[in-house]
A = this chain, B = another copy of it.
Amino acid sequence: MKIDFDINKNSHIPIFFQIQKTIREKIQDNELKPGTQLPTERELCKQLNISRVTIRKAIRGLIAEGYCTNENGKGTFVSKKKLKTNIFDLEGTSDFLTKRGLSFETKVIKDDIILPNDELKDKLGVLDNDKVLYIKRLRIIEKEPMMLEKAYLPLKKYPKLKNKKFNNSLYDILKETYNLYPDHAEGIFEILLAGEDESRLLNIKLNSLLLVKKGLVYTKENKILEYNKTYFRADKFKFVY
């Protein structure tokens, strides 16, 4: 795969950005199709007579934009299109994925009973000794880890949840056990970078972009169902509203 470049080394626009722009436009124009391997960093160095640090800066930009991915020992590839998801949809992730014919799997990373820290006391309105059920789950879509979900539930209100299995929908369990349905939610979302834990679990690099949603889910009667934190890989998702 050879790419034509038209780089002006004396432009006020940085070289790394010219390279990034050239490749980005070829991907947008579908000249470079999803799955295609880009030339290796060292090939680009030789072809353009530009140092590897600069080439890497361009590629890092393309990765942050979601246009490329790379893997150690393999190479750099054009990404698939981003998945569209409704971040505020309370119907559950499972339905959403099934509708689109995507295979997925939910892996329970943690299923613990913990004591609340200040954040949880504030959000869930529980006291120092009120135990909290903490469920940390990884959503794997088409064999790729895509979302990390942390759910915190006041065990005092939902004691029957102890010893349940959380491989499937948490909301289904709440329906069956307590006849409670999610109705509305409130919270915040922002862009964060992957730390050690998130990068290991989501199989992405340190400082990869994440969109993180944190908030409370309520029933129709304004009863708190859970406090939830969800980490979406920003390179893989667009969000509809």
Inter-chain contacts of A241 with B (CB < 8 A): 88, 185-189, 215
A35 adjacent to chain B (CB < 8 Å): no
Inter-chain contacts of A171 with B (CB < 8 A): none
Interface residue tally for chain A (C-beta within 8 Å): 35
Complex interface: stretch among A1-9, A111-119, A133-141, A191-199: A191-199
Whether B189 lies near A238 (C-beta < 8 A) is: yes
Whether A14 lies near B206 (C-beta < 8 A) is: yes
A residues 162-220 with Cβ under 8 Å of B? Answer: 185-193, 195-196, 206-207, 209, 211, 215
A residues 60-87 with Cβ under 8 Å of B? Answer: 61, 64-66, 82, 84
Whether A190 lies near B239 (C-beta < 8 A) is: yes
A104 adjacent to chain B (CB < 8 Å): no
Inter-chain contacts of A237 with B (CB < 8 A): 190
Question: A53-B53, A191-B191 are contacts. A207–B240 as well, Cβ < 8 Å?
Answer: no
A23 adjacent to chain B (CB < 8 Å): no
Q: Complex Cα distance A192/B195, Å?
A: 20
Chain B proximity of A18: nearest CB distance (Å): 11
Q: Complex Cα distance A104/B209, Å?
A: 29
Of A88, A187, A206, which is in contact with the most chain B CB atoms at under 10 Å from its CB? Answer: A206
A13 adjacent to chain B (CB < 8 Å): yes
- Interface residues of A, Cβ cutoff 8 Å to B: 13-14, 17, 20-21, 53, 61, 64-66, 82, 84, 88, 185-193, 195-196, 206-207, 209, 211, 215, 234, 237-241
